[in-house]
Amino acid sequence: MPDRYVIANWKMNLPPEGIDAYADALNRIEGGNARLVIAPPYPYIERVARRVRDGHGVAAQNCSDHDKGAFTGEVAPAMLREAGARFVILGHSERRAIFGETDGIVARKVTIALATSLTPILCIGENLRTRDAGNASRVLADQIRAAAEGLGSGAVILAYEPIWAIGTGRNASGTMVAETVGHIRDAMGRFWPQAAAKETPILYGGSVTPDNVAELVGHGHIDGFLVGGASLDSGKFAAIHRALA
Ligand code: PEP
Q: How many residues are there in the chain?
A: 245
Residue 92 Cα to ligand 1 middle (Å):
10
Predicted pLDDT at 167: 84
Percent of the residues in the chain that have a pLDDT greater than 70, as a whole number: 100
Predicted pLDDT at 8: 98
Residue 161: CB within 6 Å of ligand 1?
A: yes
Q: Which amino acid is at 212?
A: N
Residue 167: CB within 6 Å of ligand 1?
A: yes
Residue 39: CB within 6 Å of ligand 1?
A: no
- Ligand 1 atom nearest 94 alpha carbon: 2
Residue 69 Cα to ligand 1 middle (Å):
32
pLDDT exceeds 90 at position 209: yes
Distance, in Å, from the CA atom of 243 to the CA atom of 1, rounded to the nearest integer, reads: 19
Domains of the chain: 5-244 (3.20.20.70)
Phi, psi of 213 (to 5 degrees): -70, -35
56 catalytic, yes or no? no
pTM of structure: 0.96
At 153, the pLDDT band (50, 70, 90 cuts) reads: confident
Predicted pLDDT at 171: 79
219 catalytic, yes or no? no
Distance, in Å, from the CA atom of 130 to the CA atom of 142, rounded to the nearest integer, reads: 13
Mean local confidence (pLDDT), 65-83: 98
Active-site annotation holder among 94, 101, 161, 241: 161
H helices present in the chain, as ranges = 19-27, 45-51, 77-83, 93-98, 103-115, 128-132, 136-151, 174-191, 194-199, 213-218, 234-244
Distance, in Å, from the CA atom of 21 to the CA atom of 27, rounded to the nearest integer, reads: 10
Residue 229: CB within 6 Å of ligand 1?
A: yes
Predicted pLDDT at 51: 97
Distance, in Å, from the CA atom of 129 to the CA atom of 84, rounded to the nearest integer, reads: 39
Residue 206: CB within 6 Å of ligand 1?
A: yes
